[in-house]
Structure 1
Amino acid sequence: MRTDISNWMPITVPEINKVFSDMPLHWCIAGGWALDLHLCKQTREHSDIDVIITRDEQLIAYQNLKRDWMLYKAQDGKLDLWEDGEYLNFTEDIWVSKSSETPWAFQIMIIDTEENFWTYQRDKSVRRPLDQICLKTVEGIPYLRPEIQLLHKAGSSQVREKHSGSLILYFLVQDCRRFK
């Protein structure tokens, strides 16, 4: 079990793309980076980088990542090694590093789907086809749609100060686009 939860040295967006682009699964960048990719500019310093995969495809991700990375289940306030062949029924977060001594490089967030639909956990009536939850940059890097990312950020029990700027900036840009 690891306890160094603040030991982050995230890899870059292009590096994430290189890690995931050849995997036969649905994935996209989430979190603050998703919003910045949508805005085509970095709006703040990011202390981590998040990738979304589906629960159904978790073992594909594991098999492709285990050669070069160590994967830890973040659950109940603990970080335990994800074992080979272990299907994660309820775990939603995986923290990834090169070794047990190196900083965290990225986080995988596992989402549940139903019949090729993503459903918002806090309100099951909010859903979208899985193939419509991501957009792509001009370089082809997939990222979570801003309205879905903002829904998650605004819907959390506590909107952190670092996220409030992203929320405001996104809505200002949307207002400006409306008047063009």
Structure 2
Amino acid sequence: MGEREPLHRTAEEVAEDEEFFRWYGRWAPLDPAGVVELMAGFERPWWIVGGWSIEAYTGRPREHEDVDVSILGCDLGAFRAHVGADWNLWSNHGGTLRPFNDRHPEVLDVGSQVWIRRSASDPWVVDMVPTPDRDGLWTSKRDPDIVLPLDDVTWVAGDGVRYQRPEVTLHYKAALHRPKDDRDLAVTWPLLDPQAQAWLADVVRRLHPDHPWLGLMA
């Protein structure tokens, strides 16, 4: 695997990051190997999503601002028990933070985020994005009518790590449409099989009828 492609960010994105750090603190994200160590012994399904899932599928490395990990919403309590007192968990819903601990055993919103760090003086290391589930089935946050078995939306790489399938990651990224998302689509689209391409194009067409990506997908 070659050198990491720099992450191109607009001036607005850089300014937003600096404002974020001022309010919430710095990030020193784990890499997938670090996530494996964190999740060792957790007996419920977990998988890596976001940009790292694109890199795992394409073999095209780029810089990453964080690492995104997902579990089913029904397994949040099991995850809190798994990390115990070793890590601080914070439920983040739209910028509102609340501890996810014995005093507050429920997250603010199962479709939001759980940020993870050692303590208040340490940087954040993982952005956990729980996936709403319906009777244990994966449910899309973008379209709750998309309900699938977990094995249909994830795959296991040669190193044994489970990742979100690239077309599923891209259906989330379509709503954000940042420069890094355009890049991830460009390197991934030619590698998708026809079934995956058709699924992604259909979802983007339904959710974002005027999306610029549809030109590439035609």
TM-score by shorter chain over 0.5: yes
Shift of 1:6: 5.4
Kindly tell me the number of residue pairs found equivalent between the two proteins. Answer: 171
When normalised by structure 1's length, the TM-score is 0.86
1:169 positional shift: 0.6
Match for residue 172 of structure 1?
190
Residue by residue, what CA displacement relative to the aligned partner does 1:145-168 show, whole Å, maximum 9, x if unpaired? 1111111111x2x31112110111
Separation (CA, whole Å) in 2 of partners of 1:64 and 1:126: 29
For the 8 Å contact 1:119–1:128, the answer to whether it is kept is yes
Task: For residue 133 of structure 1, report the CA deviation from its aligned partner.
Answer: 2.1
Q: How does 1:9-158 map to 2 (within 5 A)?
A: 9-42=28-61, 44-84=62-102, 86-88=105-107, 90-91=109-110, 92-154=112-174, 156=175, 158=176
Asked if the contact 2:116/2:124 (under 8 Å) is kept, the reply is: yes
In 1, distance between residues paired with 2:144 and 2:96? Answer: 28
Deviation, structure 1 residue 89: 6.2
Q: Secondary structure at the match of 1:124?
A: coil
Which 4+ runs in 1 deviate beyond 3 A? 2-6
More helix by share: 2
Q: Give the letter aligned to residue 159 of structure 1.
A: H
Q: 1:133 to 1:173 in 2, by over 3 A?
A: closer
Deviations 1:62-84 (A, max 9, x none): 11113321111111322222122
Q: Secondary structure at the match of 1:67?
A: helix
Instruction: Compute the displacement of 1:25 (Å).
Output: 0.8
Other structure's SS at 2:26 match: coil
TM-score (norm 2): 0.72
What is the identity percentage for the equivalent residue pairs of Structure 1 and Structure 2? 25
Following TM superposition, by how much is the alpha carbon of 1:3 offset from its aligned partner in structure 2, in angstroms? 6.5
Match of 1:178 in 2: none
Contact residue 3 and residue 78 of structure 1 kept, 8 A = no
Report 1 or 2 for greater relative contact order, CA contacts < 8 Å, sequence distance ≥ 6.
1
- d(CA) in 2 for partners of 1:5 and 1:77? 9
Unaligned runs of at least 5 residues, structure 1: 176-180
Any gaps of 5 or more consecutive residues in structure 2?
A: 1-20, 194-218
Structure number with bigger Rg: 2
**In angstroms, what is the RMSD of aligned CA positions?**
2.0
